[in-house]
Amino acid sequence: MATTAYGICMVISVLVILWMVSKGYETIDVYYWTMICIIPVVILAYWLKTQVTSPEAAMITFCFIYFDSTVLLMVVIFLMLRVIRVEVPLAVKLAAYSIAFVHLFIVWVSAYSGQYFSSIRLIDSPDGTITKMTGGPLRIFHYIYLAVALSVILGIVAAAFLRRRSFSRRSYYSYLGILVIGLGTYIIEGVVDVRYSLLPYFYTFGEVFISFSYDRIHSHDIACIVSARHWDKRPAKSRKEKGARNLAAELERAGAESRRGYVAFDLKHRFLSCNQAAREYFPALTGQRVDELLSENNDARRIFYSMIDAYEKRGDRTHKYRLTPHTFTCEISPFSISPKGQTIGYFFEIRDITAEQGILDEMRISKAGLKEAVAAKTADIRGIQDKIVGGMANMIENRDNSTGGHVKRTSDIIRILIDEIIRQKALSISEEFAGDIIRAAPMHDLGKLTIENAILNKPAKLTDEEYEVMKTHAVKSGEMVMILLDGVEEGHFVHVAYHVARYHHERWDGRGYPEGLVGSMIPVEARIMAVADVYDTLACKRSYKEAMDPNLVAKIIMEGMGTQFDPAMRPIFIGCREKLEAYYRKENSKV
């Protein structure tokens, strides 16, 4: 019976490892994975111990069973220290693991000398072999080791009491319970004469518990969340060269250097974790209890909860706000720990744009003077805004030698597409919304102002690293739209312009950038802009290439419906294809 039960435990422990591997975690937690890899080895040793027929074989199984009270115990202690946010120096870790392995080595080398176990006796039973061991003089080292481990555990309990606001109490009590019960069972079985150990069942339960709580526990690790969100955005070569844990540290360093704040909440709006920059921006987070709602009457609660509410109701992702002396943009997005995992909370990325805002404030002052100067010539302040944006678009084209006239042409294409959408009464867009899209079209590439000339005008194919830099223009375009328009234009136009600028490189199949949005997650205005942007790239005649044949252009666009583009754009494109081709015949004849 015991042999069968231990065998079942061993199979379950192996299945747990396979299940964890199948979930595709990119961030590798060395403590968790060390635990779930050691546990099957220990359970296997217990299973073999019930079948041995000689004292020598029984001694070998005991050599492997001792992994639990040496290395495994040390791993669990360090895991507990990390749960309560205690940083342990590398030198201390190396020393502790060295002691654990030396202890294990003493067991191995003295197995047959009678120094660690003075005698061993085997008893046959219907349930399997029962092994009775008598300790030798060297076993005193084991008692000393356990006494030191118990004192460290008591120190962890004391440290947890002093730091109880800074970590998840649910996680702490869960793992403290497992540690105390496991160690207690081990000590009791060492004193009381038992036929078969209960530890294999306990280890199996612990491994299953670890696997099911992995996502929840790591939702309190801001570096883990950041690396999970950024992993798919890195070049494939970079993914192979860097381990996931190193990536988490790299991203955390990048956040510190760029002064970006990161904050995470669960789906019930309870605080999970944040980095140091976020605590500096929002001092209320410093004393905030983990796994609880934010305290009342502070800027953090007002800003984060209002953004969560706006995201849940309307899908709003970005907001700009001022907390003297800083100006920030704050972006919200859902997050999960693994690529195949369910959404478990909300992640906020906070960027300090105080310097940029100062420059733009000066630009606004200058623009206000310009408005007064031309007030006699125009009563339409919207036209001034459009001219400013158009001027910035021209600045982009003056820098980018490959896209002359692109802004004007895509704006004209958008107008043709919008006219056809309204004619077909498709996509359920209002006339006001359609007008906003037309006005927003010239702003879609504003972020290219931030791209250095060496990359923007490179005649050869971009490298992976250069392409990653180039792709940042979508995020920067959205930020510049918010900075230029927020507080100046009506809110509905600001949202449309932001979506056009940030998401026009997203793809219907989710392989676009910067967010990898899929299908209807992409704002409709960005889906329309995507068709216009690609069509111009293919159809226009430029100094370095001839215009592509109209039939081939149409074929490429049609083949992209449902993969690169919204399939609902198919009848719209077909309906205005002749107008588009006539437009480009005229445009290309000018070149």
Q: How far apart are CA 370 and CA 410, in angstroms?
A: 28
Number of structural domains found in the chain? 3
pLDDT recorded at residue 450: 82
pLDDT, tens digit (0-9, with 9 covering 90-100), for 570-587 = 999 999 999 999 998 888
In the block, tokens 């942007």 appear at 533
Domain holding 295: CATH number?
3.30.450.20
pLDDT recorded at residue 237: 42
Mean of the pLDDT values across residues 133-159?
A: 86
Strand partners, 560: none
Among 218, 235, 270, the domain boundary falls at 218
Mean of the pLDDT values across residues 496-522?
A: 92
Kindly state whether residues 214 and 267 are assigned to the same domain. Answer: no
Is 357 within a domain?
A: no
Kindly state whether residues 333 and 404 are assigned to the same domain. Answer: no
What distances in angstroms separate CA 24 from CA 20, 28, 341, 466, one per listed residue?
8, 10, 9, 28
pLDDT recorded at residue 388: 59
Domain holding 403: CATH number?
1.10.3210.10
pLDDT recorded at residue 98: 92
Kindly state whether residues 10 and 95 are assigned to the same domain. Answer: yes
Q: Are 329 and 320 in contact (CB under 8 A)?
A: yes
Kindly state whether residues 209 and 269 are assigned to the same domain. Answer: no
Q: Within its chain, how far is the Cα of 178 from the centroid?
A: 29
Is 23 within a domain?
A: yes
Kindly state whether residues 524 and 432 are assigned to the same domain. Answer: yes
Amino acid letter at 463?
A: T
Mean of the pLDDT values across residues 473-493?
A: 82
Q: How far apart are CA 332 and CA 272, in angstroms?
A: 15
pLDDT, tens digit (0-9, with 9 covering 90-100), for 286-334 = 888 888 898 888 888 989 999 999 999 888 888 888 877 778 888 999 9
* DSSP-H helix ranges across 23-139: 30-49, 55-65, 73-83, 90-109
pLDDT, tens digit (0-9, with 9 covering 90-100), for 167-219 = 777 777 888 888 888 888 888 887 777 788 888 998 899 888 888 888 787 78
Is 358 within a domain?
A: no
Is 53 within a domain?
A: yes
Instruction: Mention every residue, 6+ apart, whose C-beta is less than 8 A from residue 149.
Output: 73, 74, 77, 183
Kindly state whether residues 383 and 527 are assigned to the same domain. Answer: yes
Kindly state whether residues 206 and 314 are assigned to the same domain. Answer: no
pLDDT recorded at residue 239: 39
pLDDT recorded at residue 248: 45
What is the residue-wise DSSP string for 216-274?
HHHTT-HHHHHHHHHGGGS-HHHHHHS-HHHHHHHHHHHHHHTT-EEEEEETT--EEEE
User: Which one has a higher pLDDT value, 546 or 368?
Assistant: 546
Is 366 within a domain?
A: no
In the block, tokens 């100094």 appear at 543
pLDDT recorded at residue 177: 84
Kindly state whether residues 238 and 212 are assigned to the same domain. Answer: no
Q: Domain range for residue 526?
A: 371-590
- pTM of the predicted model as reported, rounded to 2 decimal places: 0.53
Is 576 within a domain?
A: yes
Structure tokens at 340: 């195949």
Tallying the residues shown for the chain, one arrives at 591
In 3-state terms, what secondary structure has residue 283?
helix
pLDDT recorded at residue 65: 87
Pairing of strands 345-352, 326-335: antiparallel
Residue 355 has pLDDT above 80, yes or no: no
pLDDT recorded at residue 159: 85
If pLDDT is split at 50, 70 and 90, which confidence band does 81 have?
confident
Mean of the pLDDT values across residues 68-76?
A: 88
pLDDT recorded at residue 379: 43
In 3-state terms, what secondary structure has residue 435?
helix
pLDDT recorded at residue 240: 40
Kindly state whether residues 112 and 16 are assigned to the same domain. Answer: yes
Strand partners, 345: 266, 335
Is 361 within a domain?
A: no
pLDDT recorded at residue 572: 94
Q: How many CA atoms lie within 13 A of 282 on its CB side?
A: 28
Q: How far apart are CA 334 and CA 344, in angstroms?
A: 8
- Average pLDDT for the chain: 81
When mean pLDDT is compared across 38-52, 246-260, 276-290, the lowest value belongs to 246-260
What distances in angstroms separate CA 500 from CA 32, 438, 445, 479, 548, one per listed residue?
43, 10, 9, 12, 26
When mean pLDDT is compared across 226-240, 333-347, 484-498, the lowest value belongs to 226-240
Q: Are 462 and 470 in contact (CB under 8 A)?
A: yes
What distances in angstroms separate CA 306 from CA 188, 296, 377, one per listed residue?
53, 13, 42
- Can you say whether residue 425 is alpha, beta or left, with left for phi > 0 and alpha for psi between -120 and 50 degrees? left
pLDDT recorded at residue 378: 39
Pairing of strands 261-266, 271-274: antiparallel
pLDDT recorded at residue 574: 94
Kindly state whether residues 267 and 307 are assigned to the same domain. Answer: yes
Kindly state whether residues 282 and 242 are assigned to the same domain. Answer: yes
Kindly state whether residues 142 and 176 are assigned to the same domain. Answer: yes
If pLDDT is split at 50, 70 and 90, which confidence band does 557 have?
very high
Residue 160 has pLDDT above 50, yes or no: yes
pLDDT recorded at residue 560: 94
Nearest residue to 471 via CA among 510, 516, 440? 516
Among 325, 352, 379, the domain boundary falls at 352
Among 218, 247, 268, the domain boundary falls at 218
Nearest residue to 455 via CA among 441, 473, 443, 442? 473
Is 303 within a domain?
A: yes
Q: Are 475 and 513 in contact (CB under 8 A)?
A: no
pLDDT recorded at residue 522: 94
pLDDT, tens digit (0-9, with 9 covering 90-100), for 208-253 = 888 888 878 778 888 778 776 654 444 444 434 444 444 444 444 4
When mean pLDDT is compared across 149-153, 255-259, 530-534, the lowest value belongs to 255-259
**Cα torsion through 409, 384, 496, 440, rounded to 10:** 0
Mean of the pLDDT values across residues 148-158?
A: 88
Q: How far apart are CA 99 and CA 93, in angstroms?
A: 10
Nearest residue to 117 via CA among 108, 127, 125, 126? 108
478 phi and psi angles, rounded to 5 deg: -60, -40
pLDDT recorded at residue 524: 94
Q: How far apart are CA 32 and CA 83, in angstroms?
A: 12
What distances in angstroms separate CA 115 from CA 68, 120, 138, 189, 403, one per listed residue?
21, 12, 6, 21, 82
Q: How far apart are CA 411 and CA 408, in angstroms?
A: 5
Specify the DSSP class assigned to residue 582: H
Q: Which helix (H) or strand (E) holds 335?
A: strand 326-335
% pLDDT > 70, the chain:
84
